Amino acid sequence: MAEAEQTLRGLYALRESPADPHLGEDDWLALASGEGPASHRERAIDHVVRCASCARVYRGLTELEEGAREFDKRAPQVLGPAPLDALGTTRWVWWGGLAAAATLVWAIAQPRPALAPAPQPNGSELRGPEQTRPVLLEPLGAVVRWPERLHWEPVAQVRGYRVTILDGEGNELWASPLLAETAIAWPAQVPARAGRVYWQVTAYPQGATDADGVASVLASFDYQR
């Protein structure tokens, strides 16, 4: 991150708080539950990005949502990062844009609690038509222990899966051979590192070529030593 951008963000953080009132408990509840009219949500978001203290509460609720999904699959998914497959591009074109996306993602000036996308398919309005793609189970979100394995839900009628692990810049760190199982021990070739790590599973349907693999969303986890 350029020093100039850090300065700019520092100055932005120092400006006076907005005149409009902070969000109330019901506003937060509506925002975190995806309820209420779009105009209310828009107004709330507009306040959040102008108000340092509400931005922190928003961050807290984002982490709550992500953390809740680890033990409650019905927890909503309305805050936090959009799934990366919502980029509106095809799988192959998407890889080309990953570096740019990662650059922006990584271009956050201030160290802040790591976000946990946990982007499992959930019928979000940002998604395209639902496909039979692997649903990633773990590791997702903030983790305090370096994962011992990668685990995903099975997809019917596939001949195997391939797992790819990437760093925060979108560089491939490791790719598995074709796997029959829906879990694999964490590869020793990728040692523990603090920060965000991305991973993705591609399922290869029976009778199809490798070009017809169906990729999961690109999930990530944040490891803090």
Pick the piece of the chain touching another protein (CB under 8 A) from 110-118, 146-154, 180-188, 201-209. Answer: 110-118
Our CA angle for 9, 15, 21, nearest 5°, is 115
User: Judged by CB under 8 A, which of 1, 49, 99, 175 binds another protein?
Assistant: 49
Q: Give SS3 for 137.
A: strand
CB of 72 to another protein, least distance (A): 6
Q: Does residue 190 belong to the site contacting another protein (CB under 8 A)?
A: no
The 3-state DSSP composition of the chain as helix, strand, coil percent (nearest 5) reads 30, 20, 50
Of 92 and 177, nearer to another protein (C-beta) is 92
* Residue 78 identity (one-letter amino acid): V
Residue 51's alpha-carbon distances to 76, 92, 101, in angstroms, are 24, 38, 25
- In terms of Cα–Cα distance, which of 46, 6, 14, 9 is closest to 27? 46
Q: How far out from the chain centre does Cα 224 lie?
A: 16
Determine how many CB atoms are found less than 10 A away from the CB of residue 149: 11
Of 48 and 158, nearer to another protein (C-beta) is 48
Tokens of 112: 């802040």
CB of 165 to another protein, least distance (A): 19
Q: Does residue 145 belong to the site contacting another protein (CB under 8 A)?
A: no
Count of residues that bind another protein according to CB under 8 A = 66
Which residues sit at the interface with another protein, rule CB under 8 A? 4-5, 7-9, 11-16, 25, 28-29, 32-33, 42, 45-46, 48-50, 52-53, 55-57, 59-64, 67-68, 71-72, 74-76, 78-84, 86-89, 97, 100-101, 104-105, 108-110, 112-113, 115, 117, 125-126, 142
